[in-house]
């Protein structure tokens, strides 16, 4: 880890910078994939599966039998764990429901806003060695609460043509009926534009590699909505010296194991604890199966000392971490100073892993500094908030002068006339 001591404000931007992801080399390859899916549909998807997943599929859609078999392959313990996580995620997101509040801005001018579910959404779940079934809970549970009618899921098959049982089982308990074996940029293209088998959706969600990320950004420009721009996962831990170095090291490592491009940052107002965390890191990482990934990520990571806690919090707001852990026995004093973060973990017994899986908060969060302008996935992400107004003749007469004056000043006579003609009657 690189260490900085009381860095000058002009250097913050550099210290906060994430590794630049140069898309240009993959850009053309992704565009080519998207165009092929648009032109050839399912045939293109099957060809890409052979090429990238190493398997010749006969059909894209997962069968009911495969889903039943997956249910049998998942242990009772894991099923209980998934059920508990699902329940907590449900409780947290259920509390985000809003009822329309009707107000009268003037007598006879009733205005309100109503949340209405997005009708069709698509989830992408990456394949590979770590089957991220927890992301299905984070997407499908709020989508169901919102009232989404059609949820589909795309995920790449393994070399045996199968999808991991935990993925199929979780999708099935979340009520997802349409699961397709396709991955990468081609899956994003399929959900954006539709194929013979895969229906086009209105919004696409979920994590993925650089191909998936770029494909989402591309289709998200104007063809379909996406959850948020994405980048590698990251955590920042702040400690004032009342944190526990072993816990902090464990949290940093749990982020670092996501991949060599994961970023972890430790900010502290106490030099001793920084040393202790470093020692604990070296000790703990030895026993991790993903040790090489972890070491790659740590080599790119940063430790920053500040003499002053307020400055440290300002620095963290500039960094705008996806996850922010306040490792302190008195964490409440920092809460109101946090302006830019995806999700915040307060105190020594709130590890990021709790929010990743089971405490109820969502783990689909803005990375790469996007927390300055983006929120994580929530119930809001699955609804449109439609505004309504109902104006009486009397209400309109109260607004009429203002509307007519403003329309006139903007040179829009027909706007003015739409009011005038009503009140002339």
The residues annotated with a catalytic role in the active site are: 322-323
Tell me the per-residue interface mask from 270 to 289 with a copy of itself, x by CB under 8 A, - otherwise: --------------x---xx
Q: Is 348 in the site for a copy of itself (CB under 8 A)?
A: yes
Stretch that binds a copy of itself, among 40-48, 55-63, 80-88, 303-311 (CB under 8 A): 80-88
Please tell me what DSSP assigns to residue 57. Answer: -
Stretch that binds a copy of itself, among 25-33, 81-89, 150-158, 188-196 (CB under 8 A): 81-89
Is residue 192 within 8 A of residue 120, CB to CB? The reply is no
Q: Is 229 in the site for a copy of itself (CB under 8 A)?
A: yes
Q: Is 378 in the site for a copy of itself (CB under 8 A)?
A: yes
Q: Of 58 and 76, which has the nearer Cβ to a copy of itself?
A: 76
Q: Is 72 in the site for a copy of itself (CB under 8 A)?
A: no
Least separation in angstroms between CB 111 and a copy of itself: 5
Is residue 74 within 8 A of residue 166, CB to CB? The reply is yes
Residue from 42, 240, 322, 356 binding a copy of itself (CB under 8 A): 356
Number of residues that bind a copy of itself (CB under 8 A): 127
Q: Of 65 and 425, which has the nearer Cβ to a copy of itself?
A: 425
Is residue 148 within 8 A of residue 178, CB to CB? The reply is no
Is residue 224 within 8 A of residue 203, CB to CB? The reply is yes
In 3-state terms the chain splits into helix, strand, coil percentages (rounded to 5) of 50, 15, 35
Q: Of 48 and 323, which has the nearer Cβ to a copy of itself?
A: 323
Q: Of 46 and 342, which has the nearer Cβ to a copy of itself?
A: 342
Beta strands in 186-301 (DSSP E): 203-205, 225-226, 234-239, 263-268
Residue from 15, 55, 173, 225 binding a copy of itself (CB under 8 A): 225
Least separation in angstroms between CB 394 and a copy of itself: 9
Least separation in angstroms between CB 101 and a copy of itself: 5
Stretch that binds a copy of itself, among 152-160, 178-186, 270-278, 351-359 (CB under 8 A): 351-359
How far apart CA 253 and CA 286 sit, in angstroms, is 11
Q: Is 80 in the site for a copy of itself (CB under 8 A)?
A: yes
Nearest to 146 by CA among 83, 85, 98: 98
Query: In the structure encoding, which two tokens stand for residue 48, read together?
Result: 């890409």
Residue from 20, 103, 159, 160 binding a copy of itself (CB under 8 A): 103
How far apart CA 6 and CA 267 sit, in angstroms, is 10
Place of tokens 């299905």: 136
Residue from 4, 12, 52, 92 binding a copy of itself (CB under 8 A): 92
Q: What does the DSSP assignment read for 277-318? A: HHHHHHHHHTT-TTHHHHHHHHHT-EEEE-S-HHHHHHHHHH
How far apart CA 85 and CA 130 sit, in angstroms, is 18
Q: Of 271 and 385, which has the nearer Cβ to a copy of itself?
A: 385
Least separation in angstroms between CB 338 and a copy of itself: 7
Is residue 371 within 8 A of residue 344, CB to CB? The reply is no
Q: Is 17 in the site for a copy of itself (CB under 8 A)?
A: no
Per-residue H/E/C for 380-419: HHHEEEEEEEEECHHHHHHHHHHHHHHHHHCCCHHHHHHH
Q: Is 335 in the site for a copy of itself (CB under 8 A)?
A: yes
Query: In the structure encoding, which two tokens stand for residue 222, read together?
Result: 């104007």
Sites for a copy of itself among residues 124-183 (CB under 8 A): 129-134, 166
Q: Of 184 and 321, which has the nearer Cβ to a copy of itself?
A: 321
Q: Is 256 in the site for a copy of itself (CB under 8 A)?
A: yes
Residue from 220, 232, 243, 321 binding a copy of itself (CB under 8 A): 220
| Three-state SS at 252 | helix
Sites for a copy of itself among residues 24-53 (CB under 8 A): none
Residues paired with 117 in a beta bridge: 383
Q: Is 384 in the site for a copy of itself (CB under 8 A)?
A: yes
């Amino acid at each position: 880890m690189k260490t900085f001591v009381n860095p000058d404000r002009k250097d913050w931007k550099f210290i906060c910078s994430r590794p630049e992801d140069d898309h240009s080399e993959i850009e053309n390859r992704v565009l080519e994939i998207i165009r092929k899916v648009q032109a050839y549909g399912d045939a293109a998807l099957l060809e890409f599966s052979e090429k990238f997943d190493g398997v010749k599929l006969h059909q894209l859609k997962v069968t009911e039998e495969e889903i039943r078999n997956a249910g049998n392959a998942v242990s009772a313990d894991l099923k209980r764990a998934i059920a508990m996580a699902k329940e907590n995620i449900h409780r947290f997101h259920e509390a985000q429901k809003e009822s329309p509040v009707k107000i009268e801005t003037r007598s006879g001018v009733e205005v309100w806003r109503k949340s209405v579910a997005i009708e069709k959404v698509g989830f992408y779940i990456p394949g590979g060695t770590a089957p991220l079934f927890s992301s299905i809970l984070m997407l499908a549970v709020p989508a169901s609460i919102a009232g989404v009618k059609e949820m589909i899921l795309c995920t790449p098959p393994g070399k045996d043509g199968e999808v991991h049982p935990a993925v199929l089982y979780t999708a099935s308990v979340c009520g997802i009926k349409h699961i397709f074996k396709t991955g990468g940029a081609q899956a994003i293209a399929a959900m954006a534009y539709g194929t013979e088998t895969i229906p086009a959706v209105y919004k696409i969600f979920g994590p993925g590699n650089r191909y998936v990320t770029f494909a989402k950004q591309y289709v998200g420009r104007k063809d379909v909505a996406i959850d948020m721009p994405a980048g590698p996962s990251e955590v920042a831990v702040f400690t004032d010296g009342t944190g526990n170095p072993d816990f902090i090291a464990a949290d940093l490592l749990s982020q670092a194991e996501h991949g060599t491009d994961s970023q972890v940052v430790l900010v502290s107002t106490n030099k001793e604890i920084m040393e202790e965390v470093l020692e604990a890191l070296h000790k703990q990482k030895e026993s991790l199966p993903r040790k090489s990934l972890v070491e790659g990520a740590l080599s790119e990571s940063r430790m920053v000392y500040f003499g002053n806690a307020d400055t440290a919090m300002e620095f963290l707001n500039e960094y705008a971490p996806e996850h922010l852990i306040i490792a302190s026995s008195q964490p409440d004093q920092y809460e109101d100073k946090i302006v830019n973060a995806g999700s915040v973990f307060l105190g020594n017994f709130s590890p990021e892993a709790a929010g990743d899986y089971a405490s109820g908060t969502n783990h689909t969060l803005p990375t790469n500094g996007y927390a300055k302008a983006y929120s994580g996935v929530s119930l809001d992400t699955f609804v449109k908030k439609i505004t309504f107004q109902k104006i009486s003749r009397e209400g309109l007469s109260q607004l009429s002068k203002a509307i007519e004056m403003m329309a006139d000043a903007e040179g829009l006579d027909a706007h003015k006339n739409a009011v005038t003609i009503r009140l002339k009657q």
